[in-house]
């Protein structure tokens, strides 16, 4: 167990609740769980995925969630540096070990999730250390992702074989992978034919068409858009993880809020910030009092087990970003307060837990909408929930200094 955790965890976890967000308490509790997994797991290529209790199920490096555990370790390392923890080097070494296990995925062209997998691991590593080998992996990952783009469609293919000419599926989640392309285009990345500008163009084309195809008039989102790969014509809009084709899957809405805010930061094009704010407006207008959405906004199910706190954590990160990026004082105030209200809820019971009988710090998460609380897809622990919770805690910590 890291020295700083042994020295401070017991006291910090049971500090009086003063109404303020105790960032150190929450980071320490989450770090304790992350360190326990590392200590117990001999195979450093078995990445945490989901859990109904204390034990994570694991996935291989090729799975879309693989980057969230090393990314979480990088966030703890970042906090350890800020607080001058004596064992900060140990956190860097853990993060490097688990990041290195994803190296081969830079050549993957079978999915669209390289932003999740490699920007959250190698990208974070490069941001915090400047290590050139991390940067080279991110550049190659961007080149690999670009191969899933088809100009006739103007969107990056999410699911399916890269050369499938019978179907072309795109999901709103793909907005989160555009940051990889934008970052690589400004850090020496190239497409296969050797141009950096094309990486940027692909990301912009995708964002522009996603804004047209995924949003309803009320600024809620569809989850899935099916298109003709030869002509780009829209064939169908539906859901795979929400309640119904015409409902709004809450985590999909937060992918849109975050993804368009990130595109504004990377491009400077204000239309992306406006798209993010409009999507956030729908999200905030439909939130319950505790600031944590149901797994689908059309859900009529009562109870914590039908919530998705991971969607709230993603939204919280996006709200901090919108507040930081906007030059409008009213927008800054509105979204900073929305972020703080959300984070305050997520860092207290019933959503936050330091208990060893739960794998994650963040509870009541959902992969999909489900009316069955015992289904593995709902009322569960998810590794990305803790990743975005840590991101939000670091954003709050920086904002409060």
Condensed to tens digits (0 to 9), the pLDDT of residues 106-154 reads 999 999 999 999 999 999 999 999 999 999 999 999 999 999 999 999 9
Total domains in the chain come to 1
Can you tell me the distance from the alpha carbon of 369 to that of 354, in angstroms, rounded to the nearest whole number? 26
* Mean pLDDT on 18-28: 89
Mean pLDDT across the chain? 94
pLDDT band of residue 12 (cuts 50, 70, 90) is very low
How far is residue 168 from each of residues 171, 208, 295, measured CA to CA in Å? 10, 17, 26
Smallest Cα–Cα separation from 142: which of 177, 96, 101? 177
| Residue 15's pLDDT band (cuts 50, 70, 90) | very low
Of the candidates 220, 218, 173, 180, the residue with the CA atom closest to the CA atom of residue 199: 180
pLDDT of residue 7 exceeding 90, the answer is no
Query: Given pLDDT bands bounded at 50, 70 and 90, which one contains residue 8?
Result: very low
The pLDDT, as a whole number, for residue 401 is 75
Helix segments in 122-240, DSSP class H: 124-129, 132-146, 178-185, 196-213
Q: How far apart are CA 227 and CA 254, in angstroms?
A: 23
Angle formed at CA 89 by CA 86 and CA 93, multiple of 5 degrees: 150
Among residues 314, 200, 307, which one has the least CA distance to residue 256? 314
- Place 215 in a pLDDT band, splitting at 50, 70 and 90: very high
CA distance 355 to 224: 37
Query: Residue 9: what pLDDT?
Result: 45
Give the pLDDT of residue 195: 67
Q: What is the share, in percent, of the chain residues with pLDDT greater than 70?
A: 95
- Three-state DSSP class for residue 296: strand
Q: What digits encode the pLDDT tens for the residues 40-82?
A: 999 999 999 999 999 999 999 999 999 999 999 999 999 999 9
Could you tell me which residue, 284 or 400, shows the higher pLDDT?
A: 284
Beta-sheet strand order (sheet of 224-227): 168-171, 224-227, 234-238
Confidence grade of residue 1 (pLDDT, cut at 50, 70, 90): very low
Radius of gyration, alpha carbons of the chain: 20
Query: 168 near 153, Cβ under 8 Å?
Result: yes
In the chain, what are the helix, strand and coil shares in percent, each to the nearest 5?
55, 10, 35
Give the whole-angstrom CA distance, residue 64 versus residue 151: 24
What is residue 311's predicted lDDT score, i.e. its pLDDT? 98
* Residue 191 pLDDT: 81
Domain that holds residue 394: 3-399
CB 312 within 8 A of CB 342: yes
Per-residue pLDDT tens over the stretch 158-202:
999 999 999 999 999 999 999 999 999 999 887 877 766 799 999
pLDDT at 11 over 60: no
What pLDDT score does 187 carry?
92
Q: Is the pLDDT of residue 233 over 60?
A: yes
Pairing between β-strand 378-382 and β-strand 365-366 as defined by DSSP bridges: antiparallel
Task: Please state, as a whole number, how many other Cβ atoms lie within 10 Å of the Cβ of residue 84.
Answer: 8
CATH code at position 276: 1.50.10.10
Whether 368 and 377 have beta carbons less than 8 Å apart is answered as yes
At residue 308, the pLDDT reads 98
pLDDT at 337 over 90: yes
């Amino acid at each position: 167990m890291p020295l700083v955790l042994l020295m401070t965890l017991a006291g910090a976890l049971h500090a009086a609740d003063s109404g303020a967000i105790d960032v150190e308490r929450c980071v320490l509790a989450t770090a304790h769980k992350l360190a326990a997994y590392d200590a117990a797991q001999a195979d450093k290529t078995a990445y945490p995925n989901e859990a109904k209790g204390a034990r994570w199920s694991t996935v291989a490096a090729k799975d879309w969630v693989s980057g969230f555990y090393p990314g979480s370790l990088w966030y703890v390392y970042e906090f350890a540096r800020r607080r001058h923890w004596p064992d900060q080097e140990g956190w860097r070494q853990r993060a490097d070990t688990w990041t290195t296990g994803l190296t081969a995925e830079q050549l993957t062209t079978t999915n669209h999730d390289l932003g999740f997998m490699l920007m959250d691991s190698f990208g974070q590593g490069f941001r915090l250390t400047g290590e050139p080998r991390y940067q080279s992996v991110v550049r190659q990952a961007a080149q690999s992702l670009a191969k899933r783009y088809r100009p006739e469609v103007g969107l990056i293919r999410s699911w399916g074989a890269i050369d499938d000419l019978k179907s072309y599926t795109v999901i709103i989640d793909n907005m989160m992978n555009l940051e990889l392309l934008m970052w690589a285009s400004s850090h020496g990345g190239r497409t296969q034919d050797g141009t950096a500008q094309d990486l940027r163009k692909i990301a912009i084309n995708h964002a522009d068409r996603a804004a047209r195809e995924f949003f309803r008039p009320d600024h809620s989102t569809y989850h899935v858009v099916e298109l003709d790969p030869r002509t780009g014509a829209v064939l169908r809009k539906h859901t795979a993880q929400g309640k119904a084709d015409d409902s709004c899957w809450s985590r999909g809405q937060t992918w849109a809020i975050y993804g368009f805010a990130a595109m504004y930061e990377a491009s400077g094009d204000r239309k992306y910030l406006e798209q993010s704010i409009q999507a956030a407006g729908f999200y905030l207008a439909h939130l319950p009092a505790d600031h944590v959405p149901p797994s689908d906004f059309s859900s009529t199910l009562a109870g914590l087990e039908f919530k998705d706190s991971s969607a709230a954590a993603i939204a919280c990160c996006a709200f901090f970003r919108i507040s930081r990026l906007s030059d409008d004082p009213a927008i800054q105030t509105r979204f900073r307060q929305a972020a703080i209200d959300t984070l305050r809820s997520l860092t207290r019971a019933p959503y936050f837990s330091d208990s060893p009988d739960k794998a994650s710090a963040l509870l009541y998460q959902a992969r999909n909408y489900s009316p069955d609380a015992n289904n593995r897809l709902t009322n569960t622990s998810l590794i990305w929930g803790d990743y975005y919770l840590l991101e939000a805690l670091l954003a709050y910590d920086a904002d409060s200094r």
